[in-house]
Amino acid sequence: MANFVAAADPASKTAYSFTDQDSLDHAIRDYGYIPLRADGTPMKVQSLEGGLLLDGAPLNVLLGSGWYQGQMELLQPLWANGTVPRPPAAVLGVEVLPMPPAIAAQTAAYVQTVGKSTGPLGLSWPAWLGLAAAGYFFFR
């Protein structure tokens, strides 16, 4: 795997190479940079529980550190139902590493909350109740 991701500045149309996850995340979220594949076409960017996926793979995989243990298992259902595109075989073949403790805690919290929402759009009943109350007072 390459140890960088190229991303284009939408204002100047200039491509820059990013080697660390925080800088790339900041450029995409805050400045609208567009990550590019090797052929120059834009990657599909998705956000999942605060992290970015580029063409279905987390930034840590694309920037050369490898898959963290459990990441593929979390993404399998999303790849299967088409919510997230399945990464190319070269990306899926990158080595699996032990998950850092901070990321393991965040992943455990995500796994505990999956499937616990009851309303449409993945919102829990307190969230829907809050939206209903806000709508009631706004349109009153």
- Report which of residues 72 and 107 the model is more confident about: 72
Given pLDDT bands bounded at 50, 70 and 90, which one contains residue 125?
low
Percent of the chain surpassing pLDDT 90: 41
Cα separation, 92 vs 96, whole angstroms:
10
What's the confidence (pLDDT) of residue 118? 47
Q: Where exactly are the structural domains of the chain?
A: 1-99, 100-140
Go through 5-35 and write b for each residue having 16 or more CB atoms within 10 A of its CB, e for each that does not: bbbbeeeeeeebebeebeebbebbeeeebbb
The enclosing H or E element of 125 equals: helix 125-139
Q: Name the burial class of residue 135, with classes exposed (0-12), middle (13-18) and buried (19+) by CB atoms within 10 angstroms of its CB.
A: exposed
- Tell me if 95 sits within 8 A of 66, measured CB to CB: yes
- Report which of residues 29 and 109 the model is more confident about: 29
Given pLDDT bands bounded at 50, 70 and 90, which one contains residue 64?
confident
